[in-house]
A and B are shown apart, each in its own frame.
Chain A
Amino acid sequence: MKLQTLKSIIEKKKNKSEFAIITNLTTGESEIFEKNKQLSKEMETYSSQIEEFFKSKKNGVIENTEIFVETYVLPIKVIVVGAVHIAQYLVDFAKSLNFEISIIDPRGYFASEQRFPDMKIINKWPDEAFKEIETNENTALVALTHDPKIDDPALQHALKKKFYYIGALGSKKTHENRCQRLKEAGFSDEQINLIHGPIGIKLGGRSAPEIALSIIAQLVSKTYNKK
């Protein structure tokens, strides 16, 4: 691989674009494929197969050829509400995963640069913060403040936008109260049941890193269940 190609791949990953690397295994020549980008003459012959790999987000060698396709998918957006202790560990765990975390917390003393170096922190109330983030069915929400004033608006937004994963921290009792409030706000049982509460898989641990681990485990598992 040419150093230039390696540099472009890293750059494209940073800029969060979707692309594929096409390599001729015989010559070692490789090029970058993107939507609406003209392929080289040599690769043009295989454009429909390359499109197919790209669409299904798969890696592999095109049948009966020496052409290898490697697709790069966008990281999954995970919105964490509450710049709390657990969130610090979530950020750590997510580093080796393909998750892009944004933290929302209107409380300035929590959402400090010092507690979360190099992190995207939106120091606003959820309703305001969501105006700055594009969200859809491929977004996940982890609500960690267990303060209805902060968590509830975020949960309502996530339900309306049909996030594929919604989890909320809090005991069973806290969660029951939360469900009741959402019901009163007009959400159906079916919608409310989509919320994972208490959040995380049952690991048994109760410390901040253990809870963060149980949340990440649930998030990964739900990510693979997703269409």
Chain B
Amino acid sequence: MKNSFDEKILEEAHDWVKANQKVVLATVIQTWGSSPRQVGSRMIVNEKGDFSGSVSGGCVESAVVRECIGLIKDNKPCKKIEFKVSNESAWEVGLACGGEIAVYLEQVN
């Protein structure tokens, strides 16, 4: 059995939409190696960059927020992004845990 949790993220997304915000769902769709969150984990982002939920342990959320804002600006329906192991010496976004994840972004419309 999986999912003894229910984070109610979609319910929150609906509340945001009702408040006339543009909302992007970001969902972990694939993982390789050790990754902090399992497939199906989700965060939501609005046009201002407010976000709720998570797709990692805080490693890539900032990049996901940027990508989501970009999706809204460009008015694109969806996009897939992948994150790999971070290079510790560089100021870049990545997963310190050594895993890889694919995150799917989709606008609620």
Binding site for B on A (CB under 8 A): 1-3, 6-7, 9-10, 13, 23, 25, 27-28, 30, 57-61, 68, 70, 73, 75-76, 96-99, 220, 223-224, 226-227
Contacts and interface: CB of A to CB of B under 8 A. Distances in A.
B4 A223 contact: yes
A7 B78 CA distance: 19
Contacts of B100: none
A28 to B, nearest CB: 4
**The 10 nearest A-B residue pairs measured at CB:** A28-B78, A59-B40, A28-B77, A98-B6, A59-B39, A223-B4, A68-B29, A220-B4, A1-B106, A98-B4
Interface of B: 1-8, 10-11, 13-14, 17, 25, 27, 29-30, 38-40, 77-78, 80, 104, 106-109
A68 B106 CA distance: 13
A3 B108 contact: yes
Given A3-B108, A28-B106, A97 B6 contact: yes
A60 B39 CA distance: 6
A70 B1 contact: no
Given A6-B13, A25-B78, A28-B106, A1 B6 contact: no
Contact of B106 (A13, A23, A58, A98): A23
Contact of B17 (A6, A23, A27): A6
B80 A25 contact: yes
Contacts of A75: 6
Contact of A7 (B2, B4, B14): B14
A57 B6 contact: no
A177 B107 CA distance: 59
